[in-house]
């Protein structure tokens, strides 16, 4: 069974769009109306939208040592919590003419110093579709964690990243206690919990 939406992009009328700000991100302002489920059209409404780049995330997993490599990095959006340095998976923006698999390999090396041996796709999702065009592709990446760990990142991108090697059960527990508290990492760790057996069978 598959859900087929009744409405499509043809059922939206954009009255006006303006670029409010264009820096690291682009912020747009729309005046639009859209067709209603019960029939007819909505009034003209105003909505702001962040134009964000598509990104790729990789949960680095060593199926032999049962270890997961996570990174720790300062994140501006978490200023209100006790420490704005959070644990998360490796991730990066897709550059032009670059496949999502290429991004997964590149970012794993740049942010964690890890060579990815194999990749398994997890899922793709919109990060916050009510306010952003951001789209995330997630992978599980096989690595040898025996020599992982250390400080990484690209200086010209002002990255200061510490890679940690954790026992798998520590990461599962950190998810349970809320220490892991960002969406991409939560989704990826939960995926591994559900698929761990088949991942290990594939990567024997």
pLDDT value, residue 153 = 79
What phi and psi, each to the nearest 5 degrees, are found at residue 150? 130, -170
Mean pLDDT of 122-149: 96
* Inter-residue contact 88 to 65 (CB < 8 Å): no
Residue 95 has pLDDT above 90, yes or no: no
Element (H, E) at 56: strand 55-62
Q: Residues 137-181: pLDDT tens digits?
A: 999 999 999 989 999 878 777 778 999 999 999 999 999 999 999
Distance CA 187, CA 107 (A): 19
Instruction: Indicate which residue of 48, 157, 159, 196 is catalytic.
Output: 157
Q: What is the pTM of this model?
A: 0.91
DSSP for 157-199? GT--EEEEEEEHHHHHHHHHHTSS-SHHHHHHHHHHHHHHHHH
Mean pLDDT of 114-133: 96
| Whole-number CA gyration radius for the chain | 20
Let me know if 107 is a catalytic residue: no
Burial 6-19 (b: 16+ CB within 10 A, else e): eeeeeeeeeeeeee
Q: Residues 104-117: pLDDT tens digits?
A: 999 999 999 999 99
């Amino acid at each position: 069974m598959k859900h087929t939406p009744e409405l499509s992009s043809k059922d939206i009328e954009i009255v006006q769009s303006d670029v409010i700000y264009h820096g690291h991100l682009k912020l747009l302002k729309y005046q639009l109306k859209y067709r209603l489920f019960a029939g007819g059209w909505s009034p003209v409404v105003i909505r702001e939208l962040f134009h964000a780049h598509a990104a790729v995330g990789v949960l680095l997993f060593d199926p032999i040592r049962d270890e997961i490599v996570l990174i720790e990095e300062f994140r501006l959006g978490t200023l209100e919590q006790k420490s704005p340095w959070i644990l998360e998976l490796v991730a990066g923006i897709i550059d032009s003419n670059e496949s999502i698999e290429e991004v997964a390999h590149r970012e794993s090396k740049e942010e964690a110093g890890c060579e990815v041996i194999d990749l398994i796709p997890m899922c793709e999702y919109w990060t916050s579709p009510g306010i952003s065009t951001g789209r995330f592709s997630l992978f599980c990446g096989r690595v040898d964690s025996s020599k992982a760990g250390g400080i990484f990142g690209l200086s010209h991108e002002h990255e200061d990243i510490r890679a940690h090697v954790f026992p798998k059960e520590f990461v599962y527990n950190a998810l349970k206690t809320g220490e892991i508290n960002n969406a991409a990492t939560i989704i990826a760790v939960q995926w591994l919990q559900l698929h761990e057996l088949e991942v290990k069978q594939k990567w024997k």
